[in-house]
Amino acid sequence: MVEKTFGIKKANTMYKERVGAYGIGFSSDGKIPVAMTPLYNGEEGYFLLGGGIEDHETHGDCIIRESLEEAGLSVFPKEFVCKGDYYHFIEQTKTDFHGIGYFYYMEIGDVIAEPSEPDHHLVWLTPDEIKQKLFLPHQIWAVEQVCNIYQRFL
């Protein structure tokens, strides 16, 4: 399994841990769907579709649910690609956070609903735009891993 850790784990620090699953897929013109949502500082934050795993949910079920909630987009998770994690401090909540992401290649269906999370908006970015706009470094790295495998889509 391809894995990479970002950030530095501080000694004697209790981290809030969150495990999530995320999907990365391509439109016919090579763009990747992401969710844009306002950040605490008023700027726009861009994130891969996916999120925290609930109860006994599978990774695939999480990606399908979150893509629908965040973007109204139907997706079909296909293949596990990599695992990335990120140790960081969230200034707004004063929390040491450890985000663990499982990243999957997915096929993209249609927009079938309005997002149920009203502050989330579906945005399509090129891989180059992803490098500039995604908020979390382990998500940028995961997109690079998927692009390396699925270059035929670019």
Kindly report, residue by residue over 3-54, the tens digit of the pLDDT: 999 999 999 999 999 999 999 999 999 999 999 998 877 889 999 999 999 9
Say if 103 falls within a structural domain. Answer: no
Q: Answer yes or no: is 101 within a domain.
A: no
Distant-in-sequence, close-in-space partners of 21: CB < 8 Å, separation ≥ 6 = 50, 51, 53, 59, 60, 62, 63, 66, 77, 101, 102, 103, 104
Q: pTM of the predicted model, to two decimals? A: 0.94
Q: Is the pLDDT of residue 99 over 80?
A: yes
Torsion, CA 9, CA 12, CA 16, CA 20, rounded to 10: 30
The structural domain count of the chain equals: 1
**CATH code where residue 127 lies:** 3.90.79.10
> What is the pairing mode between strands 73-90 and 2-6?
parallel
Q: Which domain holds residue 14?
A: 2-93+110-153
User: Facing residues of 67 across strands?
Assistant: none
- The answer to whether residue 100 is domain-embedded is no
* Region of residue 22 (left: phi > 0; alpha: psi -120 to 50; beta: else): beta
pLDDT of residue 117 exceeding 70, the answer is yes
Q: What is the pLDDT of residue 121?
A: 94
The share of the chain scoring above pLDDT 70, in percent, equals 97
133 within domain boundaries: yes
Rounded distance between C-alpha atoms, residue 2 and residue 80, angstroms: 10
Give me the pLDDT at residue 150, please.
Answer: 81
Tell me, yes or no, whether 104 lies in a domain. Answer: no
pLDDT score at 43: 86
Task: Give residue 151's pLDDT.
Answer: 67
Instruction: Give residue 154's pLDDT.
Output: 47
Q: Is the pLDDT of residue 152 over 90?
A: no
Q: Is residue 78 part of a domain?
A: yes
Bridge partner list, 20: 52, 101
Please give the mean pLDDT across all residues of the chain: 93
**Does 71 reside within a domain?**
yes
Query: Residue 143 has what pLDDT?
Result: 96
75 pLDDT higher than 90 = yes
